[in-house]
Amino acid sequence: MPISSLDMEGTFPPTREAEPDGLLAFGGDTSPERLLEAYRLGIFPWYNEEHPILWWAPPERCVMRPHEFHVPKSLKPRINQGTYDVRMDTAFLQVLEGCQTVGQNREAGTWLNDELKDSCLRLHELGFAHSVEAWDGEHLVGGLYGVSLGGMFFGESMFSKLKDASKICMYHLCIWMETRGMDWLDCQIYNEHLAKLGAYVIPREDFEEELKESLKKDTIPGPWHMPGQHETR
């Protein structure tokens, strides 16, 4: 079956029509409206500047329930000592730029192009997209961002400039989600780094059923705040 081509007003095909690797469609745009439609269907964009916009619905989805976050032994002292000041939604653009340019993301980061960054910023302004940030004094040293709908947080990317900064952000995100009754952290694609923190894969069909149930919950609007968080910059 040929891969579907989207025009600017086209709708996504059923996810069951995705290729074995999860590629579902190409083209269209990454407007905030299109992105929200995709997330609600369990679809996400992932591409680089050499390709058209590519939309994915993998046959297996990497996920984690907030209470299932596994704290590695080496991470516990850093959490207990409060090594970093963790905040939410105070530096969304800086987190986007960190995910685009820091470390291993530098080579693969072209997928977060200017058009997609602008759409993510608009989703942040609308209260759907959020950042979790690790600060060392006045310096942003790690973070993650994603989109929240219902009881689901769709994690998009993370970065670290100092040891374990993004892991600590993920830990605090899971605690925050659990205390507010959110259901799932969507990690999208499996990797060993995520697996060590408690993530695992479930079939696409199961993910979509969980997503449908999770979307019945009210979306918690932004900006989000950590308990005792400093004032927004």
CATH number of the domain where residue 42 is located = 3.30.70.3550
CB atoms within 10 A of CB 10: 14
| Mean per-residue pLDDT over the chain, rounded | 90
Enclosing domain of residue 132: 63-214
Are 112 and 179 found together in one domain? Answer: yes
First vs last Cα of the chain: how many Å apart? Answer: 50
Q: What's the rounded Cα separation, in Å, for the pair 201 and 180?
A: 24
Are 121 and 144 found together in one domain? Answer: yes
> Is the pLDDT reported for residue 227 higher than 60?
yes
> Is the pLDDT reported for residue 194 higher than 70?
yes
Q: How many domains does the chain have?
A: 2
Give the global pTM: 0.91
- 195-217 average pLDDT score: 97
Please indicate, yes or no, if residue 223 is contained in any of the structural domains.
Answer: no
Q: What's the rounded Cα separation, in Å, for the pair 162 and 18?
A: 38
- Please name the helix (run of DSSP H) or strand (run of DSSP E) that holds residue 149, with its range, or none: strand 139-149
